[in-house]
Amino acid sequence: MREVVFKNLTSIGSRKKDIFLKEVFEKDGMVAKTERRCFYFIKDVKHLASDEELQKWFAEQNNPQSAANKRQFHIMKEHNDAHLEDKIICKILGTFYAVLNKTIYTIGFMHSFKVRFVKPSLAK
């Protein structure tokens, strides 16, 4: 048994993009359910007047201590004996920039990966 669900949602008005992939498969007496999600949104748009302003902005952002250079990484693992289930969730949150001509787009993102293993008789 194998089931795959793919969603690609783009909202121009709210400046968001959401990509979602869910897969369910059974092998060797276990059901594995995985979910991958990539969520992007434009946080800010900054228009610069000159190349000098762009170079100044780039020098400021190139600082390794800048908050924009920090990524948040979270892992959660859970085991449930009552339901014979194991779960792992990984998430990465952060910000990056896209520069087009003299316009700077600040883009926030969240990538997540979830996997759940459960006995077929208990899987729902």
Q: What is the pLDDT of residues 43-70, one digit of tens each?
A: 889 898 888 888 888 887 777 666 656 7
10 Å CB burial of residue 90 (0-12, 13-18, 19+) is middle
The pTM assigned to this predicted structure is 0.74
Q: Which amino acid is at 92?
A: I
CB-based contact 46:84 (threshold 8 Å):
no
Say what the pLDDT of residue 123 is. Answer: 46
Q: What whole-number distance in Å separates Cα of residue 119 and Cα of residue 124? A: 10
Is residue 9 predicted with pLDDT exceeding 90?
Answer: no
Strand partners, 105: 45, 98
Q: Supply 23's token pair.
A: 């897969």
CB-based contact 86:105 (threshold 8 Å):
no
Say what the pLDDT of residue 75 is. Answer: 95
Residues 6+ apart with CB under 8 A from 124: none
